Amino acid sequence: MALEGHLVRNLKKYAMLVIDISRFALKIKSIEKLELKVVEKIQVEFTIDDLEQSKIYKGVTVRTISSEEIGVQFESSDHYDRLGPYLLFHFT
């Protein structure tokens, strides 16, 4: 899986890929060099690969940082947008 999107920090967008997704969190890879800190709150926006190519906008908290990947946790595990059905039907 690789869903294209942006990480938004201080009103600036940085290209990223979502490489893993669950109800609670994302594993992302920043395309651009970016200095993040664990527990920092940021926004992510990405397009899921459903029929409508739905845009998802979520607030997240940085939980882990490695040289290749960034683990972020959703501010809420309730997904009332298009992400809810996507997770339900794609990852059961």
Q: CATH topology for 3-90? A: Thrombin, subunit H (2.40.10)
- Supply the pLDDT for residue 28: 97
- Supply the pLDDT for residue 91: 61
Distance from C-alpha of 31 to C-alpha of 79, rounded to nearest angstrom: 26
User: What is the chain's Cα-based Rg?
Assistant: 12
pLDDT digits (tens, 9 = 90+) for 20-67: 999 999 999 998 888 899 999 999 999 999 999 999 999 999 999 998
Distance from C-alpha of 63 to C-alpha of 27, rounded to nearest angstrom: 10
- Supply the pLDDT for residue 37: 95
Instruction: Give the global pTM.
Output: 0.90
- Supply the pLDDT for residue 90: 75
The domain spans of the chain are 3-90
pLDDT of residue 92 exceeding 80: no
